[in-house]
Structure 1
Amino acid sequence: MNQIPFFRRQRAYLSQFTTGQLHLKSPWVVAFFSFSYPGFGHMILHRYAAAFILILWETFINQMANINEGILYTLLGDFEKAKHILEERWLILYVGIYMFSIWDSYRTTIDLNKQYVLADREDAQILNMKMGTWDMNFLDKRKPWVALMWSVVIPGLGHLYLHKVITGFFMFGYTVVILYLGHIPEAIHHTMTGNFDKAIQALDMQWTLYIPSIYLFILYNAYSSAVELNKLFEKEMSKYLRQNYQNKNFKLPI
Protein backbone atom coordinates (compact mmCIF):
# COMPACT_ATOMS: atom_id res chain seq x y z
CA MET A 1 0.00 0.00 0.00
CA ASN A 2 1.42 3.39 -0.99
CA GLN A 3 1.95 5.87 1.79
CA ILE A 4 1.02 9.52 1.34
CA PRO A 5 4.18 11.63 1.77
CA PHE A 6 4.31 14.05 4.66
CA PHE A 7 5.02 16.95 2.32
CA ARG A 8 2.56 17.17 -0.54
CA ARG A 9 4.56 19.82 -2.39
CA GLN A 10 8.20 20.64 -3.03
CA ARG A 11 9.73 24.08 -2.76
CA ALA A 12 12.76 23.09 -4.79
CA TYR A 13 14.41 20.18 -6.58
CA LEU A 14 18.14 19.72 -7.02
CA SER A 15 19.53 17.65 -9.86
CA GLN A 16 23.15 17.25 -10.90
CA PHE A 17 22.76 19.96 -13.53
CA THR A 18 20.30 22.54 -12.24
CA THR A 19 18.06 23.70 -9.42
CA GLY A 20 14.33 24.02 -9.99
CA GLN A 21 12.42 25.99 -7.41
CA LEU A 22 9.08 27.56 -6.66
CA HIS A 23 9.05 31.22 -5.71
CA LEU A 24 6.70 34.15 -6.16
CA LYS A 25 6.91 35.75 -9.60
CA SER A 26 5.04 38.59 -11.24
CA PRO A 27 2.78 37.16 -13.97
CA TRP A 28 3.19 40.41 -15.92
CA VAL A 29 6.99 40.14 -15.94
CA VAL A 30 6.82 36.53 -17.16
CA ALA A 31 4.25 37.47 -19.81
CA PHE A 32 6.45 40.38 -20.92
CA PHE A 33 9.42 38.10 -21.59
CA SER A 34 7.14 35.71 -23.50
CA PHE A 35 5.98 38.74 -25.48
CA SER A 36 9.56 39.78 -26.24
CA TYR A 37 10.65 36.23 -27.15
CA PRO A 38 8.43 33.11 -26.99
CA GLY A 39 9.94 30.57 -24.60
CA PHE A 40 11.69 33.00 -22.27
CA GLY A 41 8.69 33.20 -19.95
CA HIS A 42 8.60 29.42 -19.66
CA MET A 43 12.33 29.38 -18.92
CA ILE A 44 11.75 31.71 -15.95
CA LEU A 45 9.21 29.16 -14.71
CA HIS A 46 11.82 26.34 -15.04
CA ARG A 47 9.70 24.63 -17.69
CA TYR A 48 12.73 23.90 -19.84
CA ALA A 49 11.25 21.43 -22.33
CA ALA A 50 8.49 23.85 -23.37
CA ALA A 51 10.94 26.78 -23.27
CA PHE A 52 13.53 25.23 -25.59
CA ILE A 53 10.90 24.06 -28.07
CA LEU A 54 9.25 27.49 -28.18
CA ILE A 55 12.60 29.27 -28.58
CA LEU A 56 13.62 27.04 -31.49
CA TRP A 57 10.18 27.39 -33.02
CA GLU A 58 10.41 31.19 -32.73
CA THR A 59 13.73 31.14 -34.57
CA PHE A 60 12.45 28.88 -37.34
CA ILE A 61 9.13 30.64 -37.97
CA ASN A 62 10.66 34.11 -37.64
CA GLN A 63 13.20 33.27 -40.33
CA MET A 64 10.60 31.79 -42.64
CA ALA A 65 8.23 34.77 -42.25
CA ASN A 66 11.00 37.45 -42.25
CA ILE A 67 9.40 39.02 -39.18
CA ASN A 68 12.51 40.80 -37.89
CA GLU A 69 13.11 42.49 -41.23
CA GLY A 70 9.45 43.50 -41.29
CA ILE A 71 9.84 45.04 -37.84
CA LEU A 72 12.98 46.89 -38.99
CA TYR A 73 11.33 48.48 -42.02
CA THR A 74 8.25 49.33 -39.94
CA LEU A 75 10.43 51.20 -37.44
CA LEU A 76 12.10 53.01 -40.36
CA GLY A 77 8.69 54.06 -41.65
CA ASP A 78 8.93 52.03 -44.88
CA PHE A 79 5.59 50.27 -44.49
CA GLU A 80 5.31 49.19 -48.11
CA LYS A 81 8.63 47.36 -48.00
CA ALA A 82 7.66 45.84 -44.64
CA LYS A 83 4.45 44.42 -46.14
CA HIS A 84 6.29 43.22 -49.21
CA ILE A 85 9.01 41.34 -47.31
CA LEU A 86 6.69 39.48 -44.90
CA GLU A 87 5.80 35.92 -45.91
CA GLU A 88 2.07 35.69 -45.15
CA ARG A 89 1.84 31.87 -45.28
CA TRP A 90 4.30 31.56 -42.39
CA LEU A 91 3.12 34.69 -40.57
CA ILE A 92 -0.31 33.19 -39.91
CA LEU A 93 1.32 30.16 -38.25
CA TYR A 94 3.48 32.46 -36.12
CA VAL A 95 0.61 34.35 -34.51
CA GLY A 96 -1.13 31.40 -32.83
CA ILE A 97 1.95 30.00 -31.04
CA TYR A 98 3.07 33.53 -30.13
CA MET A 99 -0.24 34.32 -28.38
CA PHE A 100 -0.31 30.90 -26.69
CA SER A 101 3.19 31.45 -25.28
CA ILE A 102 2.12 34.71 -23.62
CA TRP A 103 -1.16 33.32 -22.29
CA ASP A 104 0.29 30.03 -21.03
CA SER A 105 3.23 31.66 -19.22
CA TYR A 106 0.90 34.15 -17.49
CA ARG A 107 -1.59 31.44 -16.48
CA THR A 108 1.11 29.06 -15.25
CA THR A 109 2.79 31.76 -13.17
CA ILE A 110 -0.43 32.36 -11.23
CA ASP A 111 -0.85 28.61 -10.59
CA LEU A 112 2.78 28.14 -9.52
CA ASN A 113 2.54 31.11 -7.15
CA LYS A 114 -0.35 29.34 -5.42
CA GLN A 115 1.69 26.14 -5.22
CA TYR A 116 4.59 28.06 -3.68
CA VAL A 117 2.38 29.61 -0.97
CA LEU A 118 1.04 26.19 -0.02
CA ALA A 119 4.50 24.58 -0.03
CA ASP A 120 5.89 27.42 2.08
CA ARG A 121 3.11 27.06 4.64
CA GLU A 122 3.79 23.34 4.84
CA ASP A 123 7.47 24.21 5.44
CA ALA A 124 8.39 21.60 2.84
CA GLN A 125 11.73 19.86 3.08
CA ILE A 126 14.55 21.11 0.84
CA LEU A 127 17.38 18.89 -0.37
CA ASN A 128 20.60 20.91 -0.02
CA MET A 129 23.01 18.74 -2.04
CA LYS A 130 22.92 16.36 -5.01
CA MET A 131 25.92 14.31 -6.12
CA GLY A 132 26.33 12.11 -9.16
CA THR A 133 28.91 10.70 -11.52
CA TRP A 134 28.60 13.64 -13.94
CA ASP A 135 28.39 16.62 -11.60
CA MET A 136 27.40 17.83 -8.15
CA ASN A 137 25.02 20.57 -7.12
CA PHE A 138 24.50 22.22 -3.73
CA LEU A 139 22.76 25.22 -2.21
CA ASP A 140 25.09 28.08 -1.50
CA LYS A 141 25.19 31.88 -1.37
CA ARG A 142 25.92 33.47 -4.75
CA LYS A 143 26.48 37.12 -5.60
CA PRO A 144 23.83 38.46 -8.01
CA TRP A 145 26.15 41.13 -9.41
CA VAL A 146 28.73 38.46 -10.32
CA ALA A 147 26.07 36.51 -12.23
CA LEU A 148 25.09 39.75 -13.95
CA MET A 149 28.68 40.62 -14.83
CA TRP A 150 29.44 37.25 -16.42
CA SER A 151 26.19 37.41 -18.38
CA VAL A 152 27.28 40.77 -19.79
CA VAL A 153 30.64 39.32 -20.88
CA ILE A 154 29.17 36.23 -22.60
CA PRO A 155 25.50 35.18 -22.34
CA GLY A 156 25.16 31.90 -20.44
CA LEU A 157 28.20 32.26 -18.17
CA GLY A 158 26.14 33.86 -15.42
CA HIS A 159 23.85 30.83 -15.41
CA LEU A 160 26.84 28.49 -15.25
CA TYR A 161 28.04 30.45 -12.20
CA LEU A 162 24.64 29.66 -10.62
CA HIS A 163 25.04 25.98 -11.62
CA LYS A 164 22.21 26.17 -14.13
CA VAL A 165 24.20 24.01 -16.52
CA ILE A 166 21.44 23.16 -19.01
CA THR A 167 20.19 26.74 -19.33
CA GLY A 168 23.71 28.15 -19.39
CA PHE A 169 25.02 25.98 -22.22
CA PHE A 170 21.80 26.29 -24.22
CA MET A 171 21.81 30.10 -24.05
CA PHE A 172 25.55 30.22 -24.72
CA GLY A 173 25.30 28.04 -27.83
CA TYR A 174 22.12 29.70 -29.05
CA THR A 175 23.55 33.22 -28.68
CA VAL A 176 26.82 32.28 -30.39
CA VAL A 177 24.86 30.98 -33.40
CA ILE A 178 22.81 34.22 -33.54
CA LEU A 179 25.95 36.36 -33.28
CA TYR A 180 27.68 34.40 -36.03
CA LEU A 181 24.76 34.43 -38.47
CA GLY A 182 24.17 38.12 -37.81
CA HIS A 183 27.86 38.91 -38.50
CA ILE A 184 27.89 40.86 -35.24
CA PRO A 185 31.54 40.11 -34.24
CA GLU A 186 32.60 41.32 -37.69
CA ALA A 187 30.56 44.50 -37.27
CA ILE A 188 32.08 45.10 -33.82
CA HIS A 189 35.56 44.75 -35.33
CA HIS A 190 34.81 47.32 -38.04
CA THR A 191 33.26 49.65 -35.46
CA MET A 192 36.36 49.49 -33.23
CA THR A 193 38.56 50.34 -36.23
CA GLY A 194 36.34 53.31 -37.12
CA ASN A 195 34.92 51.81 -40.33
CA PHE A 196 31.25 52.45 -39.49
CA ASP A 197 29.87 52.12 -43.02
CA LYS A 198 31.42 48.69 -43.41
CA ALA A 199 30.09 47.70 -39.98
CA ILE A 200 26.54 48.57 -41.05
CA GLN A 201 26.90 46.67 -44.31
CA ALA A 202 28.23 43.59 -42.53
CA LEU A 203 25.19 43.20 -40.25
CA ASP A 204 22.40 40.83 -41.19
CA MET A 205 19.50 42.58 -39.46
CA GLN A 206 17.18 39.57 -39.65
CA TRP A 207 19.51 37.81 -37.19
CA THR A 208 20.83 40.88 -35.37
CA LEU A 209 17.39 41.94 -34.10
CA TYR A 210 17.22 38.81 -31.92
CA ILE A 211 20.06 40.10 -29.73
CA PRO A 212 18.30 42.87 -27.71
CA SER A 213 15.60 40.49 -26.43
CA ILE A 214 18.15 37.74 -25.70
CA TYR A 215 20.52 39.99 -23.79
CA LEU A 216 17.75 41.66 -21.77
CA PHE A 217 16.35 38.29 -20.73
CA ILE A 218 19.70 36.74 -19.86
CA LEU A 219 20.73 39.69 -17.67
CA TYR A 220 17.40 39.73 -15.84
CA ASN A 221 17.19 35.96 -15.40
CA ALA A 222 20.77 35.56 -14.15
CA TYR A 223 20.39 38.32 -11.56
CA SER A 224 16.91 37.33 -10.34
CA SER A 225 17.87 33.62 -10.20
CA ALA A 226 20.84 34.44 -7.96
CA VAL A 227 18.57 36.41 -5.61
CA GLU A 228 16.01 33.59 -5.40
CA LEU A 229 18.67 30.89 -4.91
CA ASN A 230 20.05 32.90 -1.99
CA LYS A 231 16.56 33.03 -0.46
CA LEU A 232 16.24 29.26 -0.93
CA PHE A 233 19.58 28.71 0.82
CA GLU A 234 18.42 30.84 3.76
CA LYS A 235 15.13 28.94 4.05
CA GLU A 236 16.92 25.58 4.07
CA MET A 237 19.43 26.78 6.67
CA SER A 238 16.66 28.25 8.82
CA LYS A 239 14.71 24.98 8.78
CA TYR A 240 17.82 22.97 9.66
CA LEU A 241 18.70 25.22 12.60
CA ARG A 242 15.14 25.20 13.91
CA GLN A 243 14.92 21.41 13.79
CA ASN A 244 18.32 20.67 15.31
CA TYR A 245 19.29 23.56 17.58
CA GLN A 246 16.21 25.53 18.56
CA ASN A 247 14.69 24.88 21.97
CA LYS A 248 11.40 23.00 21.59
CA ASN A 249 9.75 25.35 24.10
CA PHE A 250 10.54 28.41 21.99
CA LYS A 251 7.33 30.04 20.77
CA LEU A 252 7.49 30.93 17.11
CA PRO A 253 6.09 34.36 16.15
CA ILE A 254 2.86 34.33 14.20
Structure 2
Amino acid sequence: MNRNNKHEKLFWSIALPGFGQILNGKFLKGFLFIALEFLVNVQSNFNEVILLSFHGEIEKAIQQTNYGWLMFYPCLYFFAMWDAYKDAGGGKKPYSFLPFVFSAYFVTVGTIYSSKLTLFGVLLGPIWLPILSVIPGVGFTLKWFIHKIAKGKSPDKLYATNGRVN
Protein backbone atom coordinates (compact mmCIF):
# COMPACT_ATOMS: atom_id res chain seq x y z
CA MET A 1 0.00 0.00 0.00
CA ASN A 2 0.98 3.59 -0.57
CA ARG A 3 2.41 5.30 2.55
CA ASN A 4 0.00 8.20 1.98
CA ASN A 5 -3.07 6.00 1.66
CA LYS A 6 -5.81 7.43 3.89
CA HIS A 7 -7.66 4.11 3.94
CA GLU A 8 -4.57 2.27 5.16
CA LYS A 9 -4.34 4.69 8.10
CA LEU A 10 -8.05 4.24 8.80
CA PHE A 11 -7.76 0.44 8.80
CA TRP A 12 -4.75 0.52 11.15
CA SER A 13 -6.76 2.74 13.50
CA ILE A 14 -9.54 0.17 13.42
CA ALA A 15 -6.98 -2.43 14.51
CA LEU A 16 -5.78 -0.27 17.42
CA PRO A 17 -6.38 3.41 18.10
CA GLY A 18 -3.08 5.22 17.63
CA PHE A 19 -1.59 3.04 14.89
CA GLY A 20 -2.96 5.31 12.14
CA GLN A 21 -1.48 8.36 13.85
CA ILE A 22 1.93 6.67 14.08
CA LEU A 23 1.79 5.85 10.36
CA ASN A 24 0.93 9.51 9.75
CA GLY A 25 4.09 10.51 11.64
CA LYS A 26 2.08 11.94 14.58
CA PHE A 27 3.97 9.91 17.18
CA LEU A 28 2.96 11.77 20.34
CA LYS A 29 -0.71 11.66 19.37
CA GLY A 30 -0.39 8.01 18.35
CA PHE A 31 1.20 6.92 21.61
CA LEU A 32 -1.36 8.97 23.56
CA PHE A 33 -4.22 7.15 21.79
CA ILE A 34 -2.55 3.79 22.45
CA ALA A 35 -2.07 4.65 26.14
CA LEU A 36 -5.69 5.81 26.44
CA GLU A 37 -6.91 2.65 24.70
CA PHE A 38 -4.94 0.48 27.13
CA LEU A 39 -6.19 2.50 30.12
CA VAL A 40 -9.84 2.23 29.10
CA ASN A 41 -9.37 -1.41 28.07
CA VAL A 42 -7.87 -2.45 31.42
CA GLN A 43 -10.20 -0.35 33.58
CA SER A 44 -13.32 -1.64 31.80
CA ASN A 45 -12.14 -5.30 31.75
CA PHE A 46 -12.72 -5.15 28.00
CA ASN A 47 -10.56 -8.11 26.94
CA GLU A 48 -12.21 -10.40 29.50
CA VAL A 49 -15.64 -9.14 28.41
CA ILE A 50 -14.75 -9.87 24.76
CA LEU A 51 -13.64 -13.42 25.59
CA LEU A 52 -16.74 -14.15 27.67
CA SER A 53 -19.01 -12.72 24.97
CA PHE A 54 -17.38 -14.75 22.22
CA HIS A 55 -17.88 -17.87 24.36
CA GLY A 56 -21.56 -17.02 24.78
CA GLU A 57 -21.31 -16.22 28.50
CA ILE A 58 -23.19 -12.94 28.25
CA GLU A 59 -24.32 -12.74 31.90
CA LYS A 60 -20.71 -13.19 33.08
CA ALA A 61 -19.56 -10.61 30.55
CA ILE A 62 -22.10 -8.12 31.93
CA GLN A 63 -20.95 -8.79 35.50
CA GLN A 64 -17.29 -8.26 34.53
CA THR A 65 -17.93 -5.01 32.65
CA ASN A 66 -17.05 -1.69 34.25
CA TYR A 67 -19.55 0.42 32.31
CA GLY A 68 -18.20 3.67 33.74
CA TRP A 69 -15.00 3.05 31.80
CA LEU A 70 -16.38 1.14 28.82
CA MET A 71 -18.58 4.06 27.78
CA PHE A 72 -15.41 6.02 26.95
CA TYR A 73 -14.26 3.42 24.43
CA PRO A 74 -16.56 4.16 21.45
CA CYS A 75 -15.72 7.88 21.38
CA LEU A 76 -12.00 7.22 21.76
CA TYR A 77 -12.12 4.51 19.09
CA PHE A 78 -14.09 6.43 16.46
CA PHE A 79 -12.30 9.72 17.11
CA ALA A 80 -8.91 8.02 16.64
CA MET A 81 -10.19 6.56 13.36
CA TRP A 82 -11.44 9.96 12.18
CA ASP A 83 -8.25 11.71 13.24
CA ALA A 84 -5.97 9.24 11.40
CA TYR A 85 -8.14 9.39 8.29
CA LYS A 86 -8.25 13.20 8.33
CA ASP A 87 -4.50 13.59 8.94
CA ALA A 88 -3.85 11.24 6.00
CA GLY A 89 -5.79 13.53 3.66
CA GLY A 90 -9.30 12.11 3.98
CA GLY A 91 -12.40 13.88 5.14
CA LYS A 92 -12.07 16.96 2.97
CA LYS A 93 -15.73 17.01 1.94
CA PRO A 94 -18.15 18.94 4.15
CA TYR A 95 -19.62 16.98 7.05
CA SER A 96 -17.43 13.94 6.37
CA PHE A 97 -16.97 13.56 10.12
CA LEU A 98 -20.65 12.70 10.65
CA PRO A 99 -20.45 8.92 10.03
CA PHE A 100 -17.72 8.69 12.68
CA VAL A 101 -19.64 10.86 15.17
CA PHE A 102 -22.89 8.97 14.72
CA SER A 103 -21.15 5.61 14.97
CA ALA A 104 -19.55 6.71 18.26
CA TYR A 105 -22.89 7.98 19.53
CA PHE A 106 -24.91 4.87 18.66
CA VAL A 107 -22.25 2.47 19.96
CA THR A 108 -22.17 4.42 23.24
CA VAL A 109 -25.97 4.20 23.49
CA GLY A 110 -25.74 0.48 22.65
CA THR A 111 -23.21 0.09 25.46
CA ILE A 112 -25.49 1.87 27.92
CA TYR A 113 -28.42 -0.46 27.19
CA SER A 114 -26.37 -3.62 26.68
CA SER A 115 -26.98 -5.06 30.15
CA LYS A 116 -30.79 -4.97 29.80
CA LEU A 117 -31.91 -4.73 26.17
CA THR A 118 -32.82 -7.95 24.39
CA LEU A 119 -33.27 -8.55 20.69
CA PHE A 120 -35.89 -11.21 19.92
CA GLY A 121 -35.57 -12.36 23.53
CA VAL A 122 -31.77 -12.65 23.39
CA LEU A 123 -29.58 -10.62 25.73
CA LEU A 124 -26.67 -9.50 23.54
CA GLY A 125 -24.50 -7.89 26.22
CA PRO A 126 -21.66 -5.36 26.18
CA ILE A 127 -19.98 -6.57 22.97
CA TRP A 128 -22.68 -7.69 20.54
CA LEU A 129 -25.29 -4.96 21.12
CA PRO A 130 -22.77 -2.11 20.66
CA ILE A 131 -21.41 -3.79 17.52
CA LEU A 132 -24.94 -4.05 16.14
CA SER A 133 -25.44 -0.39 17.08
CA VAL A 134 -22.85 0.88 14.60
CA ILE A 135 -25.01 2.85 12.22
CA PRO A 136 -22.73 4.88 9.98
CA GLY A 137 -25.58 5.08 7.47
CA VAL A 138 -27.32 7.64 9.68
CA GLY A 139 -24.20 9.80 9.54
CA PHE A 140 -23.86 9.37 5.77
CA THR A 141 -27.53 10.25 5.28
CA LEU A 142 -27.33 13.30 7.54
CA LYS A 143 -24.12 14.39 5.80
CA TRP A 144 -25.85 14.18 2.40
CA PHE A 145 -28.94 15.99 3.69
CA ILE A 146 -27.00 18.86 5.29
CA HIS A 147 -24.83 19.17 2.19
CA LYS A 148 -27.95 19.51 0.01
CA ILE A 149 -29.43 22.15 2.31
CA ALA A 150 -26.12 24.02 2.39
CA LYS A 151 -26.18 24.12 -1.42
CA GLY A 152 -29.48 25.99 -1.22
CA LYS A 153 -31.97 23.20 -1.76
CA SER A 154 -34.70 23.30 0.83
CA PRO A 155 -35.78 19.95 2.33
CA ASP A 156 -39.16 20.08 0.54
CA LYS A 157 -37.43 20.43 -2.85
CA LEU A 158 -35.17 17.41 -2.29
CA TYR A 159 -38.01 15.07 -3.28
CA ALA A 160 -39.22 16.85 -6.41
CA THR A 161 -39.10 14.03 -8.98
CA ASN A 162 -41.41 11.03 -8.43
CA GLY A 163 -40.43 10.77 -4.79
CA ARG A 164 -36.79 10.24 -5.74
CA VAL A 165 -34.01 12.28 -4.29
CA ASN A 166 -32.33 14.67 -6.72
TM-score, structure 2 length as denominator? 0.51
Aligned counterpart for 1:193 among listed residues 55, 68, 71: 55
Task: Quote the sequence identity (%).
Answer: 26
Summarize the alignment of residues 28-177 of structure 1 with structure 2, pairs less than 5 Å apart. Answer: 142-177=4-39
Matched residues in 1 for 2:19 and 2:78: separation?
A: 15
Partner of 2:87: 225
CA-atom RMSD in angstroms = 1.4
Matched residues in 2 for 1:149 and 1:165: separation?
A: 17
- 1:143: how far off? 0.4
Matched residues in 1 for 2:45 and 2:72: separation?
A: 13
- 1:156: how far off? 0.4
Matched residues in 1 for 2:70 and 2:79: separation?
A: 16
Partner letter of residue 79 of structure 2? F
Matched residues in 2 for 1:165 and 1:224: separation?
A: 15
Q: Which has the larger radius of gyration?
A: 1
Q: Which runs of 4+ in 1 moved over 4 A?
A: none
Matched residues in 2 for 1:166 and 1:214: separation?
A: 16
Name the structure, 1 or 2, with higher relative contact order (CA <8 Å, separation 6+): 1
Structure 2, unpaired ranges of 5+: 91-166
Partner of 1:53: none
Partner of 1:184: 46
- 1:155: how far off? 0.6
Alignment of 1:213 with 2:70, yes or no, is: no
Distance 1:200 1:142, change over 3 A: same
TM-score, structure 1 length as denominator? 0.34
Matched residues in 2 for 1:144 and 1:197: separation?
A: 39
- 1:141: how far off? 5.5
Summarize the alignment of residues 234-245 of structure 1 with structure 2, pairs less than 5 Å apart. Answer: none
Structure 1, unpaired ranges of 5+: 1-139, 229-254
- 1:215: how far off? 1.0
Matched residues in 2 for 1:141 and 1:157: separation?
A: 13
Q: How many residues align?
A: 89
